Structure formats: C-alpha cells, structure tokens
Amino acid sequence: MIGSIGYGIACIVAGCLLTFLISLFRPIRQVDSFKAPYWIFGLALAVGVLPYAVAEFFTRQHGQAMASAVEDASIDAEIGGKVDYFKVLWVKDNKARVIFTADELNEFGTKERTVVATTLVKEKNAWVADDYNIVTSYQRKKDHTTFPPYW
C-alpha cells in the first residue's frame, strides 16, 4: 500500500513538472485562463495510467503464449495457490518481465496475496521461466513493491 501512495505522489510530481514545461512554451501575449490544476491532474492521471496500459497491451499480445511458463514459475517459487492473474510488463527480443499474483494460505489459515516477479526467456519458440523474485509475501517476510504497483 505504501508503494501505491508513493506511486500516486510521483505521478502528481510528474504532472506538476509537465504542466510547468507546458506553461513555459505558451505564448507570452496569450491572455486566457490557463487552469494549471486541471493540467496537473490530467497529466498526473496520464502518467499514472500509461504503465498499466503498456502492461495490458503486452499481456494481450503475448499472454497466451506465456501462461504455461508463468505456471512453471509459480511451481518453482513454491507458491501454494494457483495463479490469479499475470501481467507482462515488457518484452524485448527473447526476454520478458512478468508479474503474477496468487492467493495462498498462510500459517494462520487465512488467505494471503503473494506477488511474484519473474523473467521469462524464449527458447525454441516457447517461453520458459528463467528466474523469479517474490515481491510480497508476509509468510516469507518479503514486503516490496513493483512498478507499477500490483497487489
């Protein structure tokens, strides 16, 4: 949750900087009602949504081919539950970065959402899990965040 708050603050700062840059290049003689808060909010929203949109695009483009590799990564990471969903963050040549989440039972018998980041490599026209990093899992004492935040 802290990562999401930090992400939101970073988006607002980026919106402020972009609004400042836009206001620098406006004509001096132009007298109108330049509403900076609308620009800040709109650009912060655009900056915040862009990484999620890119991940959705890559997931729709490459997701079906990567589903079995994500399941294999889940088994390698010894995740107790099945994969709820995964998102492809980026794909370059024969490498891809994927984040997946799974619900598993912790030692108290309650559900815990585990987030895992994994790198997939394309070998012989099939995606294979190369490595993994458990991002969030309280029973494994991992409490990190992803960019953009997923939970």
pLDDT in tens, 88-136: 999 998 999 999 988 888 777 788 888 889 999 999 888 998 888 888 7
Average pLDDT, the chain: 86
CA separation for the pair 101, 45 (Å, rounded): 25
Residue ranges per domain, the chain? Answer: 2-143
Whole-angstrom distance, CA of residue 93 vs CA of residue 36: 41
Q: How confident is the model at residue 56 (pLDDT cuts 50, 70, 90)?
A: very high
The whole-model pTM stands at: 0.80
Nearest to 85 by CA among 103, 72, 109, 97: 103
Query: Cis bond leading into 148, ω under 30°?
Result: yes
**Residue 103 to residue 113: CA distance in whole angstroms:** 5
**What gap in Å lies between CA 122 and CA 126, rounded to an integer?**
5
Q: Is 130 helix (H, G, I), strand (E, B) or coil?
A: strand
pLDDT band at 31 (very low <50, low <70, confident <90, very high): low
